[in-house]
Structure 1
Amino acid sequence: MSAHTDPIEMLTSDRSWELLGTQELGRLVTHVGETIDIFPVNYVVDGEGILFRTAPGSKLFELTVNTDVLFEVDDHADTDAWSVIIRGYATALEADADVQRAEAAGLRPWIPTVKRVYVRIAPTSVSGRAFRRSAEPELDGPQEY
């Protein structure tokens, strides 16, 4: 992005997945009835899906009631930033082969709690944006269009 371009760039799906692979903490958004919750989760990219671990509780309960989720990851530096959002379905892994594959992904809880349930988010869409960070434009005077 140059100084004369839009400070917002739409990311390709490939670039979005590439960026997702550079991080390990995201935000899971669930929706059950009138309740919308957001949970920070550590994760790994699994092909074209997201894996995280959880334990019985509100997050897992909400995913059994409504599997529709949003998952957001972002990062920033002094000169740029980005955000990727996945819309999809979250499913607890039950088949032995799926659980063994998930265990091989090396995903470990960040906090010392037992999280035996692996959940995979299967995306229905992936969208990402990159942002060029700089000073706010002058509010007075000629504006670029």
Structure 2
Amino acid sequence: MYDFDDEGPMHVLHPEQSWDFLRAREFGRLAFHLVGDVHITPINYAVDTDNRIIFMTSEGSKLFGVTANRDVAFEVDEVVDERATSVIIRGRATILEGQDRYIIEQLPIRPWVASPKSVVVAIEVDEISGRSFDLSRPWLHDIPRQ
């Protein structure tokens, strides 16, 4: 899946590999500040043509948090067979209003929970980093097969 320049069990993803990884998925975790604490919550998302993370939400702590302090982090990870991949973004959340909010009509955002979400949020990315790990997990090979 990836072409790595490094050797060993940990591989640094090139930025475009990290973006490809994010584009191929739709579920991640948003970390945000809320009244002096850091919170983390799952979200469905899509990546737009400007390499922003777009998600929808409703009134509540998540919206209050990203409005009160725009600095956020976002993470998507995956473990498949003997490989784990993780991409982390740091950036700033912005509520999209007016014509800007119609970006969702061009994206495959599919809410997993049937609750009303009318607020569109974009994460403007300041930093992206991705890693892939070759897993050994020897304990999996010690499990007796039935």
Same fold at TM > 0.5:
yes
Q: CA deviation at 1:70?
A: 0.1
- With over 3 angstroms needed to count, the CA separation of the structure-2 counterparts of 1:36 and 1:78, relative to structure 1, is same
Distance 1:65 1:127 in 2: 25
Q: Tell me if 1:85 matches 2:88.
A: yes
Structure 2 partner of 1:36: 38
Deviations 1:76-135 (Å, cap 9, x if unpaired)? 111111000000001110131x11222221312111100011100010000000000114
| Structure 2 CA distance for aligned equivalents of residues 119 and 135 of structure 1 | 38
Aligned with residue 53 of structure 2, among 50, 55, 62: 50
TM-score, with length taken from structure 1: 0.86
1:66 aligns with 2:65: no
Partner of 1:111: 113
Q: Return the match for 2:14 from 9, 12, 15.
A: 12
Structure 1 unpaired stretches of 5+: 137-145
- Distance in 1, matches of 2:107 and 2:53, equals 11
CA distance in 2, matches of 1:105, 1:25: 14
* Amino acid corresponding to residue 122 of structure 1 in structure 2: E
Structure 2 CA distance, aligned partners of 1:22 and 1:78?
18
Name segments (4+ residues, structure 1) moved above 4 Å. none
Secondary structure at the counterpart of residue 56 of structure 1: coil
Q: Counterpart of 2:130?
A: 128
Superposition RMSD on alpha carbons, in Å? 1.6
Identity among equivalent positions (%) equals: 44
Letter in 2 for 1:74: D
Task: State the number of aligned residues.
Answer: 133
**Does the C-alpha gap of structure 1 residues 135 and 55 become closer, same or farther in structure 2, counting only changes over 3 Å?**
closer
